[in-house]
Structure 1
Amino acid sequence: MEIVFPLYVLIIFFPSLLLYIFLRKNRRSPHKRAKLPPGSMGWPYIGETLQLYSQDPNVFFATKQRRYGEIFKTHILGCRCVMLASPEAARFVLVNQAHLFKPTYPKSKENLLGPSALFFHQGKYHIRLRKLVQGSLSPEAIRNLVGDIEAVAVSALDSWAGGQVIDTFQAMKKFSFEVGILAIFGHLEAHYREELKKNYSIVEKGYNSFPTKIPGTPYKKALSARKRLSKILSKIIGERKEKRSNEKDLVGCLLNSRDDKGEILTEDQIADNIIGVLFAAQDTTASVMTWILKYLHDDPKLLEAVKAEQKATSQSNEEGNHPLTWTQTRKMPITYKVILESLRIASIISFTFREAVADVEYKGYLIPKGWKVMPLFRNIHHNPEFFNNPQKFDPSRFDIVPKPYTFMPFGSGVHACPGNELAKLEMLILTHHLVTKFRWEVVGSKSGIQYSPFPVPLGGLPAKFWRESAP
């Protein structure tokens, strides 16, 4: 049977149909209309991981940015990624829309540090733990550690002196580990400190190894050492509970915390966050301090300026017969700018990992749910638009405060490093004693970078140290 529509029906129907189609199309998620960023994904599975680790990350990421712009895709470490290399994009991911991007780490790394460590989480638990960690590492808390950190620094430097060749990076790691122990436990018994150091060292070696549980492999050894760490921490926590002390170090803050329901943290939660803070406190700080030593060594004029500043402080303390004070560490402008410039040019944390929890559109590009998102701090720190002649080490550039989100050595937003004030304090204290009481000479190659995984001078910067003779 033939169906015939009157003309007036067609006149009404077709515009209505077109309007319906238009509205349906525009009701679709805008992400479905957006396109993926430009870029290349490399080989199946391995993607471009080999290219990343076979060259300076500066070159890898800078080449990508020049070719594709400030947002591009790639495939590294088994993950599909969107890279973001602008301050606006970093703020979008880390601050403005942080709820759309969760922190993410491989499960193998969570197993070693502990799944309850604060930087694996979002939401109420993260907020609670961050307040506790940040409170124990705030300027108000760490100002009481100046004398103790100074004693650790003097002891470390004395052990280096004598003209023997020192692996500077490894020496700095030992120093930053001891400072981390101070901030977490206060004055910890020597046998506990040695047991923690021994087992943590095994965990650290397995952290960046291939995650196989075959007996004898670094990762399997690390898992066993992590279990031993939990037992050691359980003993320390048990002793603290018996004493019912009200100390303000990190362990004290974690033990005495109660949530809005009156519930305390479990021992596993406390242990995971202690290990997490130790991990965050060691390698990154040690890397920066190694670079500071190199940059001062390579620039005699700058070294003399830092020496003059620190010797004036030493003289006010009767040539070091009195300990440094918190107030004095706040009045070291030249040294402080050396630290900031070292943080910028070395960019120890090249990027941070986030994962999109939903499809997200940014500047017309789709960031699919489940993809990793990586704000590239190194690219931003080395962008000549924000830092003139960015490859030159020039602390005076910090005479002017950088534009927002162009300088993020400790990250930004709710997951920014809560221990940044402690890190800067130990750098200031060590530099004070280094330049006023010691001289040093770099041995072998004075150039080159190795990644393990953080960038450090080649060979860990082998150097010889001598105590300065009294004038």
Structure 2
Amino acid sequence: MCMEISAIFLIYTIIFLSSSCFLFLSYHPSMKKRRQPQELAAKLPPGSMGWPYVGETLQLYSENPNRFFASKQKRYGEIFKTHILGCPCVMLASPEAARFVLVTHANLFKPTYPKSKERLIGPSALFFHQGDYHFRLRKLVQASLSPESIRKLIPDIESAAISALHSWASPPDQVINVFHEMKKFSFNIGILSVFGHLDSNYRDRLKENYTIVDKGYNSFPTSIPGTAYSKALLARKRINDIISELIRKWKEQRLMENELLGHMLNYKDNKGQALSDDQIADNIIGVLFAAQDTTASVLTWILKYLHDDQKLLEAVKIEQMAIYEANEQGKKPLTWGQTRNMPITYRVIQESLRMASIISFTFREAVEDVVYKGYLIPKGWKVMPLFRNIHHNPELFPAPQSFDPSRFEVPPKANTFMPFGNGVHSCPGNELAKLNMLIFIHHLVTKFRWELMRNEKGIQYSPFPVPLHGLPARFWKN
């Protein structure tokens, strides 16, 4: 497995992110203030800070990132320091440490993102915040994406899945990029959950501009006209304008729909204050970003894992065909109860989430000096719980490199399986993501078959891990 990155992107990453982080040389400013007795006894975690200014960024991007993190853990243990992307960091690779940062002491660690990415998503998006704003907005988003709310989406998700699969199989000799097509499918479901049945004109305009924003999200952050990032900024402004149009329309027609936009328009805080149009737009874009690439990546891996294990594929097919026959060979729609009773398929999803670990880690920043297990985490340092390291720990998941859904016949130990994060900033759309996957797999295995064009074992990062070349494949209708 390998990760390729262009020289210009590497240089931009180091320079840009260094400008927004304090560069660790031989001490940290927080060391100057008066320490409490516990802090005086604490020391920085073991590890290497690498070269001055550059740190260990070159090592991270010149080798498989999984190998980078694993080798660090093997050498220094489950808590270690490094200096990457211009920032001093403490990395944590144990379930207990992840729980400490994300759950029990989450108030000491704020979410953090590079400013260039915040500009594209929007500064009001809920995952850029702590405190009362985040708490209230999160409850609002959770309500619109709760099982009670999303179960009504089943017929529409089915329709989108069937439509996508038919387009892939016609003509039958075409080769598609599975990851790219899965992104289209995931985006359409995201639009459905946010806006409901949106007029095709609005949907097409949103998709066109969102695609431009998506391309600029991981590009060099310069406002020079013609660059991917500058185009993304302009497209982001156009998305704001489109959402403002929709908000005006909903207000004029007094629409009271239960999708996310309706929830946001009807929201009032404890002072009777409504969300501004910009706040609504930021959070809608945030939800779409969170939903699209992650769900698309996992679905792409599921297709590969099932293709590579025909015995497992047959077991999933038998489970789904029983539901298919109960629904008069697909003439009746899936029910919510049926989606809750797909144990083999659900274990395949769980194991795919563990193996792929789409969200390999998350960034937090210490808001004050913190002592954990005798080690000092200085204020302002980045803190990274390493989900992938935990998911691939052989003491927690025996033979972690083997794809084995049966391991989930027994629930995993607490804080060892965190595909959607953990704590107050975990993904609020995880139930919708899993419903998408269950419905898509049902229609895939009961009505279609597929063949991979390049059954290679490599991984590419864009930035989420996906099979090489996006998994080119052909599809046929049964």
Q: Report the TM-score range of the alignment, normalised by the length of the smaller protein.
A: over 0.9
3-state secondary structure, aligned to 2:325 = helix
Identical-pair percentage: 73
What corresponds to 1:143 in structure 2? 151
Q: 1:114 aligns with which of 108, 112, 122?
A: 122
Residue 316 (structure 1) aligns with:
326
SS of 2:352 mapped into structure 1 = helix
SS across alignment from 2:176: strand
Alignment of 1:54-133 (within 5 A): 54-133=62-141
Are residues 1:340 and 2:350 paired? yes
CA apart distance, 1:43:
2.3
- Report what 2:239 is aligned to: 229
CA apart distance, 1:433? 0.4
Structure 2 distance, partners of 1:115, 1:27, is 34
The CA distance in 1 between the partners of 2:194 and 2:219, in whole Å, is 27
Unpaired runs of at least 5, structure 2: 1-33
Give the Cα separation in 2 of the matches to 1:379 and 1:27. Answer: 33
What is aligned with 1:257? 267
How far apart are residue 27 of structure 1 and its match? 7.6
- Report the counterpart of residue 168 of structure 1 in structure 2: 178
Q: Which residue pairs with 2:199 in the alignment?
A: 189
- Equivalent of 2:38 in 9, 30, 36: 30
Q: How many Å separate the matches in 2 of 1:367 and 1:35?
A: 9
Q: Counterpart of 1:20?
A: none
**1:31-83 deviation per Cα after TM superposition (whole angstroms, max 9, x unaligned):** 23311111111223332222222222221111000000000011111111000
Whole-angstrom CA distance in 1 between matches of 2:294 and 2:350? 14
Question: Separation in 2 of the partners of 1:340 and 1:57?
Answer: 22
Aligned to 2:338: 328
d(CA) in 1 for partners of 2:442 and 2:116? 39
Correspondent of 2:410 among 379, 400, 412: 400
Letter in 2 for 1:322: K
For 1:403 and 1:430, the matched residues in 2 are separated by 28
| Candidates 430, 438, 461, aligned match of 1:428 | 438
> Which entry has the higher C-alpha Rg, 1 or 2?
1
Q: What is the one-letter code of the residue matched to 2:144?
A: S
Q: Distance in 1 between matches of 2:49 and 2:254?
A: 56
- Whichever residue aligns with residue 255 of structure 1, its letter is L
Query: Which residue does the alignment assign to 1:446?
Result: 456
Give the whole-Å Cα distance in 2 for the aligned partners of 1:184 and 1:156.
Answer: 20
Cα distance in 2 for residues equivalent to 1:45 and 1:142: 48
Check if 1:456 corresponds to 2:429: no
- 2:77 partner letter: G
The two structures, once aligned, show a CA RMSD in angstroms of 1.0
Task: Tell me which residue corresponds to 1:11.
Answer: none
What is the letter of the counterpart of residue 129 of structure 2?
H
CA distance in 2, matches of 1:271, 1:402: 37
Query: Could you tell me which amino acid in structure 1 is paired with residue 387 of structure 2?
Result: F
Residue 215 (1) aligns with residue 225 (2): yes
- Amino acid across the alignment from 1:92: F
Amino acid corresponding to residue 310 of structure 1 in structure 2: Q
Higher mean alpha-carbon deviation, 38-47 vs 223-232, is at 38-47
Matches within 5 A, 1:368-407: 368-407=378-417
Q: Does 1:294 align with 2:277?
A: no
Deviation at residue 246 of structure 1 after TM alignment: 1.5
- What is residue 4 of structure 1 aligned with on the other side? none
3-state secondary structure, aligned to 2:394 = coil
Q: 2:371 matched to which residue of 1?
A: 361
* Structure 2 residue matching 1:369: 3-state secondary structure: coil
- Report the CA distance shift for 1:301/1:49 in structure 2 as closer, same or farther (over 3 A): same
SS state at 1:227 partner: helix
**Cα distance 1:334–1:45, how it changes in 2: closer, same or farther (>3 A)?**
same
Rounded to whole Å, the distance in 2 between the matches of 1:49 and 1:434 is 41
- Once residues 151 and 467 of structure 1 are traced to their aligned partners in structure 2, the CA distance between those partners, rounded to angstroms, is 16
3-state SS, counterpart of residue 370 of structure 1: coil
| C-alpha distance in structure 2 between counterparts of 1:382 and 1:163, whole Å | 38
Shift of residue 212, structure 1, vs aligned partner: 1.1
Distance 2:61 2:455 in 1: 21
> 1 CA distance for matches of 2:455 and 2:156?
35
Is 1:240–2:250 an aligned residue pair? Answer: yes
CA distance in 2, matches of 1:236, 1:46: 46
Can you list the C-alpha shifts for 1:64-111, whole angstroms capped at 9, x where unaligned? 000000000111111110000000000000011100000001111110
The aligned amino acid for 2:457 is S
Where does structure 1 lack aligned partners over 5 or more consecutive residues? 1-25
Are 1:271 and 2:281 an aligned pair? yes
The 3-state SS of whatever aligns with 2:103 is helix
1:156 and 2:164 are equivalent in the alignment: yes
Task: Report the secondary structure of 1:80's partner residue.
Answer: strand
Structure-2 separation of matches of 1:284 and 1:77: 23
Aligned to 1:50: 58
Q: Which moved more, 1:73-82 or 1:342-351?
A: 73-82
Deviations 1:372-402 (A, max 9, x none): 0000000000001111111100000000010
Query: In the TM superposition, what are the counterparts of 1:3-18 in structure 2 within 5 Å?
Result: none
| Aligned twin of 1:305 | 315
CA distance in 2, matches of 1:308, 1:445: 25
Counterpart Cα distance in 1 of 2:180 and 2:62: 23
Question: What whole-Å deviation, never above 9, does each CA across 1:286-339 have from its counterpart, x for those lacking one?
Answer: 000000000000000000000000000000011001111111101100000000
For 1:80, the aligned partner's letter is P
Displacement of 1:29 after TM fit?
4.3
What secondary structure does 2:437 align onto?
A: helix
Looking at structure 1, the residues matched to 57 and 223 of structure 2 have their Cα atoms a distance apart, in angstroms, of 23
